[in-house]
Amino acid sequence: MSRNKFGAKIKIKGQTLDASADEIDALDGITSSVSELNILTGVTATAAEINRALDVSARLVALTGTDAITVAEHEGRDMYVTGTDAATYTMPEATGSGGRYRFIIGEVNTNGNVFASADATNAGFIGSVNILDEDAAAQAAYASRAVTNDLITLNGTTTGGQVGDIIEFVDVAADTWMVRGQLGCPAGSNPATPFSSTA
């Protein structure tokens, strides 16, 4: 608590000043306006959330094989997927957080890249993906409207998984992931749905 040179508590407009001298000195050099500071009213982000949002050094995360996708390591980032061994990427529990996870395919994997819901019993994927048939130069669209579909498989041929393919997941509600993607099917193959269920 701040005190004047006589040891008395300092009051401003009838309010006792609780900040220490060091805390007041730390404000020196701040150029924000009152309206800019007021924007922070009600902000409830944790230090970890702020660091995750502002750390541009970790915007691209390399994935080279089976991995558990986590909020701390992967949310709000682009995942660059390479490797040719069968791989499963298990999403975190969907809670309705609004978290976004985008995967970019950097290497064709004909053994399959599988994206799985953490809870195969009552959670899964809704949404749609487009698959470009490179033979016909036409798009095929596939949709999942029920969370019973808890797997998405990019097999490197019919269900997508070409270099440059993108698939994104958004945590929209408890037990529910929204998915959208732009995938490719190479010449000599015909597009097929990437959505399936473990049941």
pLDDT at position 5, please?
52
pLDDT at position 4, please?
53
36 and 71 housed in the same domain: no
- Largest distance between two CA atoms of the chain: 88
75: its two tokens: 């949310």
Q: For residues 109 and 183, what is the distance between their CA atoms, to the nearest angstrom?
A: 13
The phi and psi torsions of 188 (rounded to 5 degrees) equal 95, -5
Is the backbone of residue 13 left (phi > 0), alpha (psi -120 to 50) or beta?
Answer: left
33 and 108 housed in the same domain: no
39 and 119 housed in the same domain: no
Asked, for residue 52, whether it belongs to a domain, the answer is no
Using an 8 Å Cβ cutoff, are 188 and 144 in contact?
Answer: no
Res 193 pLDDT > 90:
yes
pLDDT at position 51, please?
67
Q: For residues 123 and 53, what is the distance between their CA atoms, to the nearest angstrom?
A: 27
88 and 22 housed in the same domain: no
* DSSP string for residues in 43-102: ----HHHHHHHH-GGGSEEEE-S-EE--HHHHTTSEEEE--SS-EEEEPPPPBS---EEE
101 and 144 housed in the same domain: yes
Number of domains in the chain: 2
**CB within 8 Å of 47: residues ≥ 6 apart:** none
pLDDT at position 191, please?
97
120 and 68 housed in the same domain: yes
Residue 114 pairs with which residues in a beta bridge? 88, 153
Using an 8 Å Cβ cutoff, are 163 and 107 in contact?
Answer: yes
Please classify residue 81 by burial: count the beta carbons closer than 10 Å to its beta carbon, then call 0-12 exposed, 13-18 middle and 19+ buried. Answer: buried
Q: For residues 23 and 72, what is the distance between their CA atoms, to the nearest angstrom?
A: 31
pLDDT at position 37, please?
66
What is the extent of the structural domain holding 83?
A: 60-196
Using an 8 Å Cβ cutoff, are 185 and 161 in contact?
Answer: no
Asked, for residue 163, whether it belongs to a domain, the answer is yes
Write out pLDDT tens, residues 98-123. Answer: 999 999 999 999 999 999 999 878 88
Tell me what percent of the residues of the chain surpass a pLDDT of 90: 65
How many angstroms separate the Cα of 157 from the Cα of each of 104, 105, 154, 168, 184? 16, 13, 8, 19, 8
Asked, for residue 182, whether it belongs to a domain, the answer is yes
Write out pLDDT tens, residues 27-61. Answer: 677 777 777 766 766 667 777 667 666 666 678 99
Write out pLDDT tens, residues 146-159. Answer: 889 999 999 999 99
